[in-house]
Structure 1
């Protein structure tokens, strides 16, 4: 969700409502405080979602493709990842220690890189199931897979809400799921049933479709909602009668988590923005961003900004550009102008990706740009478009949101979250709210005195 993605998505949103589009705002763009996040990893200029999730959830920078561990753990180092002294814990874990409810919502697999930052400790983001570890030539009994960590791990087992996709990582490869698709595990374990057994003495529910989500009681203590075999479908491809939207999952998560008087922590990811960009599917990337905007809008409407801090940011950027000199109100997903070769180009294009061409550019006036699966042009041919390394936005509203300003190292974000919610190292911090009121009153008094002084001076003069 780069700055370019935001600019293009807000324009697309406005144009859906018959406006020129450029003047439109996404819900979180109206937040009172904004900043920039520096996203690099310890060993990479351009981050992946594993090291970046570790940064903005656990408070340290890590190596590429590692999650919830320090930089002492190199990629695929099973022995190092098993060393608990190298583990780092997320804001969710620290919230749990203070009796808060916790949850995660994503449109990707719940074992994917970003949501895994909430609960996992691994040397390889791809080790989502035991089969992945075996195929990498390692022992899954020594390197615990991410799905198993979600169900049995110190943080994962205490999550009150888990919504997303990725069912196959929890099921044996000799069974099929509710969508008649096979599992992936080689250890013959059904982690969904194991989760249910662990929650036997609580009010819990496993759900797998939209109807079950809608009917889920808000007094449920624990819910595991796995809605697809792998990633959830893009919103433009979604079966709206069977599969929930990101905003529907977010709404239900807040309803359940807010039952706890001590408060809650919720991670919400519009993860398929990233996937659409990797395939240069600009239309789907913008639509997924708009779905994310709707989810944040739902959260805003359900919470009180006096007591709830909402922070919106990105793992990293992408290489999509918004370029040329198209007229005001020109469709953002359409042709933006012509090159010196007299051939048209799209307003949106990518620096690299699977849609580059060898030789002369095609005449895209014959292409169906309305097709959701149209791959927008890229310059350098790659199987998958890469991330971008520029800073990404931070948008904040609520208590202590003013700390999210300026250019910030990405790993500072969870320290501010911890400070604001009095968890981790900040559990016993002083509460400055009352003293702030005195300071504000003092400043106001001084301001009035100064104004009075100048008024008097002016009248005497």
Structure 2
């Protein structure tokens, strides 16, 4: 009998063990299934800079109430504040999307010194200003292709945050050099003068560097549109591009066309890609309180969203995230002159629909001919306004160069019952839109840093591991016993100089190289000089290069 019970006990134990193995296998399979459900090969991040719900509402009414391409994927809200301010500027806002960390206003993809907003953790003093590896840089390190598409100049805050690191978002020449040396595979937008040796203060031939490294470099859309190179920089304006309503006859491509071209090129990489597309000038139109510019740029951006969604829906490996970086202008459909019952839809639209140019486009046409008669003629032709007051005519005459949209925007807004509270950013949440082939998208109210976390998760990229040992400071190198000097003899090309075993190593800022005599070595990351505190951060693999 004892033997019987022992056999029975052994059978039960065996059965339990088998069941545990089965359950464990099922759990493992489910876990793998969940990971497979989440993971994608490609991410397209689209940023309509400064866009609010008022912007999308006006654009939707402008096109007869037809839905925008982005409408179907709205899924949540995003908190936008920076590390030190409830109202962010574009630099820390883009940094949050690029790195998963908040930083200070004006900083691009570096750790902050000041973290005064609730819930924002203070970094250690040794890490103040240290560069943070971006999702674009990490994607490139794991073998993916990378791209930036925009309508501003490429060193502007939003594209810059993904491929540059600085405490001064206005250092366009330094930022441009970093983006070039980061070798982003596809760059399409404006800003030719920042790679032209004849227009740069430091005379660096960045266009030549790109060509020598296998890039097609062009300022002609006609030249590029029928080509499909592996790597390309297409910069179609000396500085920023025209608003979409003003683009006719310029030879510049639309944002949708540039997005289509970028996807055509980047999708050749079997390892996948990361692409950031910015509707840059929604923000600029909002700063000017120009509703015509808002409609122009929101619709142009939405056309690019359609291109991205069509691409993603034609396959099963691509996610699309659409998210503004912040609000701008405090725009409302309705102002103090409007009442609920008296203002009809046509009252909002009639003047905007008559406009065929933005305020910036009208400024080009008026030029220096600022007579009363010419102003009235041009505004009548391109805005359909025939009742300008003398005060309005005088305001147009006295507008500063490049700022006529700040005059014409309010003129048409007043006639269209559109309100504005400011010419600057505001601090409310923005709408999150997301498409994933398996429906795995964020919901509810999330932080802007969580957008980066989500993208890294679905791409299978551990950003934290990249940041653990990416950069080392000049002080840390000195602590290791090396002789370290920051050479500022050429203020346009500050260098870190290291003496070790009788050899001198020169590390230029904004480049990913180390020079030792006749030898030149490439480093993993671009080297960064932080001018405000005179700290130099270099790619940490430099220490290994020096030891050899």
**For the structure 1 residues 211 and 60, does the alpha-carbon distance in structure 2 shift closer, same or farther, using more than 3 Å as the test?**
same
TM-superposition CA deviations, 1:240-266 (whole Å, max 9, x none): 461111001000000000011111111
Alignment of 1:52-131 (within 5 A): 52-72=93-113, 86-129=130-173
CA contact (8 A) 2:133 2:463 kept: no
Shift of 1:405: 1.0
Alignment of 1:225-236 (within 5 A): 225-236=234-245
TM-superposition CA deviations, 1:79-135 (whole Å, max 9, x none): x99979721122211211221111000000110000011111000100111xxxxxx
**For the structure 1 residues 216 and 407, does the alpha-carbon distance in structure 2 shift closer, same or farther, using more than 3 Å as the test?**
same
Distance 1:81 1:107 in 2: 37
SS in 1 for 2:297: helix
**2:236 counterpart of 1:211:** no
Shift of 1:398: 1.1
Distance 1:81 1:253 in 2: 40
SS in 1 for 2:63: helix
CA contact (8 A) 2:147 2:276 kept: yes
Partner of 1:330: 346
Distance 2:160 2:125 in 1: 14
- Residue of 252, 255, 260 corresponding to 1:251: 260
**For the structure 1 residues 82 and 229, does the alpha-carbon distance in structure 2 shift closer, same or farther, using more than 3 Å as the test?**
farther
Partner of 2:32: none
Unaligned runs of 5+ in 2: 1-50, 116-123, 353-384, 397-403, 415-419, 466-548
Shift of 1:303: 2.6
CA contact (8 A) 2:327 2:428 kept: yes
SS in 1 for 2:105: coil
Give the structure with higher Rg (CA): 2
**2:158 counterpart of 1:149:** no
Distance 1:239 1:216 in 2: 22
**For the structure 1 residues 261 and 225, does the alpha-carbon distance in structure 2 shift closer, same or farther, using more than 3 Å as the test?**
same
CA contact (8 A) 1:309 1:400 kept: no
Distance 2:243 2:351 in 1: 24
Distance 1:285 1:81 in 2: 42
SS in 2 for 1:192: helix
**2:397 counterpart of 1:397:** no
**2:58 counterpart of 1:8:** yes
CA contact (8 A) 2:324 2:430 kept: yes
**For the structure 1 residues 209 and 254, does the alpha-carbon distance in structure 2 shift closer, same or farther, using more than 3 Å as the test?**
same
CA contact (8 A) 1:209 1:244 kept: no
CA contact (8 A) 2:172 2:194 kept: yes
Distance 1:241 1:187 in 2: 29
Shift of 1:239: 3.6
Distance 2:179 2:62 in 1: 37
- Residue of 259, 268, 288 corresponding to 1:279: 288
Q: CA RMSD in A?
A: 3.1
Shift of 1:403: 3.5
**For the structure 1 residues 38 and 211, does the alpha-carbon distance in structure 2 shift closer, same or farther, using more than 3 Å as the test?**
same
SS in 2 for 1:168: helix
Shift of 1:193: 1.3
- Residue of 177, 192, 196 corresponding to 2:207: 192
Partner of 1:446: none
Query: TM-score, normalised to structure 1's length?
Result: 0.70
Distance 1:425 1:280 in 2: 38
TM-superposition CA deviations, 1:224-249 (whole Å, max 9, x none): 11111111111121144611110010
CA contact (8 A) 1:108 1:164 kept: yes
Distance 1:278 1:194 in 2: 36
**2:193 counterpart of 1:168:** yes
**For the structure 1 residues 87 and 401, does the alpha-carbon distance in structure 2 shift closer, same or farther, using more than 3 Å as the test?**
farther
Shift of 1:402: 3.9
Partner of 1:136: none
Distance 2:58 2:125 in 1: 40
Unaligned runs of 5+ in 1: 15-20, 75-79, 130-144, 176-182, 337-363, 428-461
Distance 1:415 1:334 in 2: 43
**For the structure 1 residues 86 and 233, does the alpha-carbon distance in structure 2 shift closer, same or farther, using more than 3 Å as the test?**
same
Shift of 1:404: 1.8
Aligned residues: 348
**2:64 counterpart of 1:26:** no
Shift of 1:401: 5.1
